[in-house]
Structure formats: C-alpha cells, structure tokens
C-alpha cells in the first residue's frame, strides 16, 4: 500500500489521536459522572482504569493498525485471513458510523448555540427565557436538521481533504487552541463567588460512593473518551509511520485526554455551583444550565459573559469536530480501500447515511437514546474486549513485541513490554469481561 497517507510527525499523531479522544465525552459526561460517583475517589479509579485497562486497548488497536497499514476489515484479513475475525473488522466499521449519526446531532446543537452566543441571546434580560430555549430549538425540526447538516458537512469536508491535509492539519491547529480555551474558562470559573462548592464536588473523595457501578462507569467513560473499541484508533494508527514510537504516542494521547477531562470539570462545575443550580447530566448541563448561568453572569458585565459563552461553545464545537472526523475516517478508509470507491464517493456515502440516521435521532429522542446506549454500553466494550483478545491470544507475541518496540530498537519499550503484554493478555480482558458481565446482569 505504497500510496497510503501517513501522519507527518509525533506531534501530528498525538494531536490527531487526542483530537479524536477529546470531545463531548470529556466536556459533558466526565464532570457529571465524577460528582455522581464520589468525586476525587472516582477520579482515582478513573485514572487507574485509563492506564491499566484503556491504554492496553489503545496499544492493541495501535499494533493492529500500524502493523497492517489497513482499515479495520483489511487489517483483520491481513492478520487472520479467512477467519471470523473479519466480523470484528466489520463491527468496528459500523459502530463508529452509528456513533457519528447521533453525535452529529449534538454537534449541530453546538452550532446553533455558538450562533446564539454570538448574537448575545444569553442576555441578563433574558434569564427566564434561556432555559426554555433548548426545548424550543429541539422542537423545531427544521433548524435542528439544518444544524446537523452543517456539522456533518464540515466533518465530511475535512475528511475529504485527506489524512494529512484534512485531519492532521485541522487537529494540529485546533487541539492546542482547545487547551488554551479550556484553561481560560476554568480560571475564570474558579474565580466566581461560590465556586468553592464546585471544587469540593470534584476533589472531595467520598469512598462510600465507590460502588461496583462506579467501576463500570469509569470503564465505559474511559473507553468512550479515548475512542476505543470502535476501530477509530486502529484506523488512525494505520497512518502512523513505522519509525514512530507507539507506546509514547499512545501514552501522550491518554494523558492529554485525561488532562482535558479534568480541566473541563474545573471549567464547568465551579460555575454551576456558583449559580446555585444542581448539576445535571448531558444535554441539560451544556445546553440549559450553562446558558442560564451565562445569562445570569451578564448582570455583572454583559461583555465578559458573552465572551465566555462564545469561547465555551467554540470549544464544544471544535472538540466535537475533531472527534466526528475520526469516526467518519474509519468508514471512508474501509470503503475506499476494500470496496474500491473513490475518497469522494466514500465520504459522500457515509455523510448521507449518517445524515439519514442523524435526522431520525434528531426527530425521535428514543432512537437517539437507543443508539447511544447500544454503542456506549455494549458495542464499545465488546470491541475493546475483542481487540485485546486478538492481540493477546491470536497474534504471535513476537509480532506484538516487534511492533511496540520497532523491531527491538526502542529499548525502554522493550523493558516495558512484559508489563504491557501482561496487561493486554490477562488484566484487560478479564477485568473488562467481569465488569461487562456484571453490568449485563444488572
């Protein structure tokens, strides 16, 4: 596959992967789940999950992707020809397209909310109307679909531009900007009167809330947040150069994602508590509570609250885009490499599919919820489990080592290899299976 594109540098790999990882999962899910499951105690469990279970899965996907330089289906066929493993390849083409469909609906909402903040609709004179805005907006099918179309259109445009000129360039510019923005918002948020309660919510360890559910929540959240189990990281790794250090870029990605999630917590929760509202999850938090807070903050200065609102919705929109492009790329790689479609046709095909399913999700909340649950509670975990089993039990140990140490030339990785391999082969699959099955049993 000589003509295949490659990311240009280590920084490019980390930015693209971190771009995929950093998204709505960090901004609207993480802060809420933390508070619900015991604050700092949960963050501790989450960090352990990240490094002991998620990172080995990221390495597994990286090994498969870079070893083969193929899309998810092609990779399975190259490493295990004629076996049922090709179904894992197919599963991980389909699941990111499903995620793309409903994720883009939310991406579309953030387009509208950026517009609302640019036109200063979260104004102190409007405080009472602001929380109702979300209901009004989502009830207007036309507007929601127009925003979805715009979001998916931008996603498709970047993906169509290619791995280097589209994905790499976009992520390299936006990821550093996202970090600056989230730090600025966090610092501002922590200076609000009453912010202390929000900080307490995030950092006060409450070990009594660490139930078995908290472990399942940590695992699910860290897979979703690191884009694991759906072939995204496998596909991105297939564009990583042979002389790149997979362990270093994987660790860099995981650390960036974790840092961003914690910063998002510090950006959002102090502001929520300062305003005296109970934190809610998901759409309610980002599209109802926060606009209300921006509007109320306006009494102390309309300009500053408008600026913070604009920065915040730019952050959400861009973070969502760097993730949605990674979901679309999986299917585009498959269709163009295995099905002989041009990149343009492959991009257009996935764009249309996601648009149709996205419209169904936008119009029917039950479809949205069903697909979200199907993916985040089931497909992601299943994919992650199978990837670790594939690398730990199906591939030759020597091949895995060869890939993670670049043929033995990376000495630190060679020293770490026994630990990494043990995590991939035993710790990750056993823990995931236990948490997964106990979740299924209720």
Tokens of 73: 């289906």
220 touching ligand PHE, by CB under 6 A: no
In the complex, the smallest distance separating the C-beta of residue 97 from ligand PHE, rounded to whole angstroms, is 10
Mask: binding to ligand PHE, 327-346, rule CB under 6 A, as x and -? x-------------------
Instruction: Centre a 10 Å sphere on the Cβ of residue 64 and count the other Cβ atoms it contains.
Output: 28
Q: Quick one: 37 or 95, whose CB is closer to ligand PHE?
A: 95
**Cα→Cα distances 114→65, 147, 229, 286, 306, Å:** 36, 11, 31, 12, 11
Is the sign of the CA dihedral 14, 17, 19, 23 positive or negative?
Answer: negative
Kindly write out the interface string for residues 278-317 of this chain, putting x where it contacts ligand PHE by CB under 6 A and - elsewhere: ----------------------------------------
| Residues written for the chain | 442
Per-residue CA distances from 146 to 29, 104, 309, 314, 355 (Å): 25, 11, 22, 18, 11
Q: Residues 151, 184, 221, 335: is their CA dihedral positive or negative?
A: positive
CB-CB neighbours of 123 under 10 Å = 17
389, 57 in Cβ contact below 8 A?
no
Residue 232 binds to ligand PHE (criterion: CB under 6 A): yes
What is the C-alpha to C-alpha distance for residues 175 and 17, in angstroms, rounded to an integer?
A: 10
Binder among 227, 237, 289, 305 for ligand PHE (CB under 6 A): 227
Contact 38, 208 (CB under 8 A): yes
Count, residues near ligand PHE per rule CB under 6 A: 16
Q: How far is the CB of 244 from ligand PHE (least distance, A)?
A: 21
- CB-wise, 102 or 390, nearer to ligand PHE? 102
| C-alpha–C-alpha distance, residues 135 and 169, integer Å | 36
Q: How many CB atoms lie within 10 A of CB 342?
A: 10
- Binder to ligand PHE among 17, 24, 217, 309 (CB under 6 A)? 24
CB of 311 to ligand PHE, least distance (A): 19
From the CB of 20, what's the least distance to ligand PHE, in Å? 5
Which of 23, 198, 220, 439 binds ligand PHE (CB under 6 A)? It is 23
Distance between CA atoms of 97 and 266, rounded to whole angstroms? 31
Does 68 help bind ligand PHE (rule: CB under 6 A)? no
> Which range, of 24-32, 158-166, 352-360, 382-390, touches ligand PHE by CB under 6 A?
24-32
Give yes or no for residue 318 binding ligand PHE (CB under 6 A). no
Residue choice 12, 14, 16, 21 for contact with ligand PHE (CB under 6 A): 21
Footprint of ligand PHE (CB under 6 A): 20-21, 23-26, 96, 99, 224-225, 227, 230, 232, 323, 326-327
């Amino acid at each position: 596959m000589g003509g295949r594109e490659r990311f240009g540098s280590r920084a490019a790999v980390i930015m693209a992967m971190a771009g995929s990882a950093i998204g709505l999962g960090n901004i609207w899910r993480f802060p809420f789940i933390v508070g619900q499951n015991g604050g700092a105690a949960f963050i501790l469990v989450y960090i352990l999950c990240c490094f002991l279970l998620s990172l080995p899965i990221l390495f597994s996907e990286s090994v498969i992707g870079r070893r083969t330089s193929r899309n998810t289906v092609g990779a399975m066929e190259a490493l295990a020809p004629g076996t049922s493993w090709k179904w894992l390849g197919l599963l991980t083409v389909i699941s990111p397209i499903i995620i793309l469909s409903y994720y883009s609906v939310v991406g579309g909402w953030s387009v509208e909310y950026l517009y609302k903040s640019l036109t200063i609709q979260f104004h102190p004179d409007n405080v009472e109307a602001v929380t109702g805005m979300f209901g009004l907006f989502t009830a207007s099918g036309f507007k929601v679909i127009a925003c979805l179309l715009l979001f998916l259109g931008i996603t498709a445009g970047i993906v169509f531009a290619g791995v280097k000129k589209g994905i790499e360039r976009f992520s390299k510019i936006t990821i550093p900007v996202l970090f600056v923005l989230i730090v600025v918002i966090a610092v501002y948020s922590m200076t609000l009167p009453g912010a202390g309660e929000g900080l307490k919510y995030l950092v006060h360890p409450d070990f009594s809330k660490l139930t078995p559910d908290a472990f399942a929540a940590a695992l699910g959240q860290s897979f979703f947040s690191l884009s694991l189990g759906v072939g995204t990281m496998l596909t991105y790794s297939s564009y990583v150069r042979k002389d790149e250090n997979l362990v270093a870029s994987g660790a860099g990605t995981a650390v960036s994602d974790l840092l961003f999630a914690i910063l998002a917590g510090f950006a959002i929760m102090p502001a929520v508590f300062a305003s005296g509202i109970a934190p809610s999850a998901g759409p309610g938090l980002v599209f109802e509570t926060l606009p209300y807070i921006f509007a109320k903050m306006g009494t102390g200065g309309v300009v500053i609250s408008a600026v913070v609102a604009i920065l915040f919705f730019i952050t959400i929109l861009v973070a969502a885009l760097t993730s949605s492009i990674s979901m679309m790329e999986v299917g585009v790689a498959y269709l163009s490499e295995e099905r002989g479609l041009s990149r343009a046709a492959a991009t257009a095909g996935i764009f249309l599919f996601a648009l149709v399913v996205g419209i169904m999700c936008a119009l029917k909340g039950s479809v949205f919820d069903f697909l979200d649950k199907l993916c985040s509670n089931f497909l992601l975990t299943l994919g992650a489990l199978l990837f670790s089993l594939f690398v730990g039990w199906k591939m030759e140990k020597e091949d895995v080592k060869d890939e993670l140490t670049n043929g033995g030339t990376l000495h630190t990785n060679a020293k770490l290899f026994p630990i990494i391999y043990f995590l991939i082969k035993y710790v990750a699959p056993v823990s995931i299976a236990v948490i997964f099955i106990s979740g299924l049993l209720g």
